[in-house]
Amino acid sequence: MSTSTISLKTFLAAARDALAAPPAKRSLPLTFVVGNESADIDSLCSAVVLAYLRSHIAPQRLHIPLSNLPREDLALRIELGPVLAKADLDASDLITLSELPQQLDPKETQWVLVDHNALTGDLKKYESRVVGCIDHHVDEGTVNTQAMPRVIETCGSCMSLVVDTYADAWRNLAHGEQSAIVTKNISKDLTQLAQVALAPIIIDTINLTADAKVRPKDTSSAKLLESELMDDAEFDAKAYYDDITEAKENLSSLSLRDILRKDYKEWEDGGIKLGISCVVQNFDFLLEKARSGQEALVQEMQSWAQEQKLDIASVMTTSNPGGEFQRHLLVWGLTDASKKAVKRFRDDATSKLKLEEWNSGTLDEEGSRYAWRQLALDSSRKQVAPLLRDAMKWAGANL
């Protein structure tokens, strides 16, 4: 690659080509920058930005940013829309696990990790080939102490650490050898790069206001990006933040199945399997989405439960109808043992979670399925799942 900058779109196309080249034509080692398998906005953007920067600075080896998820799951990351749009990108420009060749000899690869510090899943086999890491989770000690860089420290966003670590290199790319910083002359390519980098920092720190999360590097990196690394008179960080936040809640492009699997977790206790889907719109929205209403929605939930082999299917919603924050909860026991667990949960959690019948019981089925308004607004899945699991353990022990 030449030292002159290119657009992210061109860069990603070059990375895709490098990956698709027949084995004999590969330029070895293939060097990847990969994010956490949670594949959130921080991971996805950090991988792209770091790969771009490392491909442009000495020794200018092409780095392939790898989104750590299958291609079909990328469609679920709806909040990426406004970020990709800022850089004239589409989701199809990103490289996912689905494009990773099956038979890659670990010896022919090198890996830089962002937003995690231990490879997971199918990528674990490349563990000995990790040459660098930038992460904001607890250090698990698997990345070699010789790795370069090896930056593992607490920060609101992993991207802040990427920006901070490469601040000088980035300034150099943006301003060349000029000693004085002339911010009004930065290429469109680099301006777009800086805007992509800014997204996770402001989103993960709620615009740098989440005091429990924000670290000095979040603040300094956001400031650096906005004040020295972009040249865009039109850029409005507040509008950008609002666009991403709105996109997060705009489920209109997703099917009900995708909505149920987008933010999904499962557990097994007492021989009972529970799956909880969190949804950023309420049951009214889901019913409308199901078009033919209640039966269609119940059927969709049932197919999801069958696909995941669930005994208890649960949906938790958050919404803001008329500006009022609300939580709704649906719990459905599909087998005999799990119905006992649901009954136990209902007895136990009704007061704890301040549960009230939702919409006159429209979605209920006596003895197995209940939809509630959950007036205990502080209780997210972190609090609700343990209550359900306790009921499952109890039911498993009292069959």
Residues contributing to the site for ligand NAG (CB under 6 A): 36, 38, 116, 118, 120, 137, 182, 185, 207, 238, 241-242, 246, 250, 252-253
C-beta of 227: minimal distance to ligand NAG in Å?
A: 12
C-beta of 124: minimal distance to ligand NAG in Å?
A: 10
Please identify, using beta-carbon distances, which residue of 4 and 292 lies nearer to ligand NAG: 4
Please identify, using beta-carbon distances, which residue of 79 and 93 lies nearer to ligand NAG: 79
Please identify, using beta-carbon distances, which residue of 108 and 122 lies nearer to ligand NAG: 122
Please identify, using beta-carbon distances, which residue of 115 and 300 lies nearer to ligand NAG: 115
Please identify, using beta-carbon distances, which residue of 183 and 303 lies nearer to ligand NAG: 183
Tokens of 306: 């069958």
In terms of C-beta density within 10 A (0-12 exposed, 13-18 middle, 19 or more buried), how is residue 232 classed? middle
C-beta of 167: minimal distance to ligand NAG in Å?
A: 20
Q: What is the largest CA-CA distance in the chain?
A: 76
C-beta of 246: minimal distance to ligand NAG in Å?
A: 6
C-beta of 396: minimal distance to ligand NAG in Å?
A: 27
Please identify, using beta-carbon distances, which residue of 179 and 351 lies nearer to ligand NAG: 179
Taking alpha carbons only, the member of 279, 301, 305, 304 closest to residue 290 is 301
Cis peptide before 29 (omega within 30 of 0): yes
Please identify, using beta-carbon distances, which residue of 240 and 370 lies nearer to ligand NAG: 240
C-beta of 36: minimal distance to ligand NAG in Å?
A: 4
CA distance 187 to 176: 11
C-beta of 127: minimal distance to ligand NAG in Å?
A: 12
Crossing angle of helices 188-204 and 41-56, in 10° steps, is 150
Please identify, using beta-carbon distances, which residue of 155 and 334 lies nearer to ligand NAG: 155
C-beta of 378: minimal distance to ligand NAG in Å?
A: 21
Q: What angle do CA 181, 187, 190 make, to 5 degrees?
A: 90
Tokens of 246: 């709105």
